Amino acid sequence: MSEATTTTPAAPIEAVIRRVLGVYRRWGRDISVAQMRADWDALFGNVAVDAAVEPVVIGAMGALSGEWITAPGADTRRVVLYFHGGGFQVGSVRSHRELMAGISAVGGCRVLGLEYRLAPEHRYPGALEDACTAYDWLVAQGIDPSDIVVAGDSAGGNLALAALLRLREAGRILPAGAVLMSAWTDMTASGASYVTRAQSDPIHQRPMILAMARNYLGPDGDARDPLVSPLLADLAGLPPLLIQVGERETVLDDSTSFAAKARAAGVDVELEVWDGMIHVFQQFPAELSEAREALAAIGRFLRRRWT
């Protein structure tokens, strides 16, 4: 990790891959979005968590919902605002509850998981508007920006970065940092890893990534919009970032290239490339020691931000 690597036992990661592919292979051309969402929630969302789970209504008009996830002993003054992954089409607070509970435990903080609007019913910028609304709501509740860290995986990592960029453009005080897991930073899918990792990534290939981008953007969307592809943005002024990514991922360059560009813009970046790991491997802490180690690294990052 940390721009080095860790050694990966073959059996645990291969078992994880089989679990994920068992869902993906059921998704033919005729499957409904509703069924895809149900399948994804079933894959990840049936694990009991050692944390208090409290539904919450978010926003001045109560238009958004989410969950407070609070591990035993967490400092409720500290908050991670979490955006789940799923290509902007699937995923929910249910599918990511175990991961959020893990973050709450290692960070000693509350986690607010947001149910942002999904495509194709709600295309860009719906999810981004919801992300910023949730941040504004936290601040309106009296939580200081210095006590907030935003976080997300995959499309949720994209959303975390896009929210930071929009808040910066609006002259807002930014949160204390951001945690990004397998972040999707480039909807043009231009990174060399889409080719060099095509054989090693068992799940995500460039045609699939581009299809998800079209689904999110709609026919008139621009994949080069910096609020859609944060890799193409001016990154000056962003808060400290922890970026974790699996070495096998086709979206590897979405993280490594973003880290390099952010550093060049003066941003404090910690980059961890995990050898042999797949997309958002942190969602499998029961199976993968690497997932547990990555969560521990997230906890250390969060505690440094709040020291």
Helix (H) or strand (E) holding 181: strand 177-181
User: 193-227 in b/e burial notation, b at 16+ Cβ within 10 A?
Assistant: bbeebeeebbbbebeebeebbebbbeeebebebbb
Cβ atoms of residues 122 and 216 within 8 Å? no
Where would I find the H helices in the chain?
10-24, 33-44, 97-107, 126-140, 155-169, 193-196, 206-217, 252-264, 289-305
Six-digit token string for 200: 């090693």
For the question of residue 154 being annotated catalytic, the response is yes
Six-digit token string for 55: 């539904």
Cα separation, 241 vs 21, whole angstroms: 31
Cα separation, 67 vs 123, whole angstroms: 23
Of the candidates 92, 95, 104, 154, the residue annotated as catalytic is 154
Q: Which residue shows structure tokens 């930071």?
A: 164
Helix (H) or strand (E) holding 294: helix 289-305
Cα separation, 172 vs 140, whole angstroms: 13
Residue 110: phi, psi to the nearest 5? -85, 155
Six-digit token string for 20: 């994920």
Cα separation, 188 vs 209, whole angstroms: 9
Cβ atoms of residues 306 and 147 within 8 Å? yes
Q: Which residues are catalytic?
A: 154
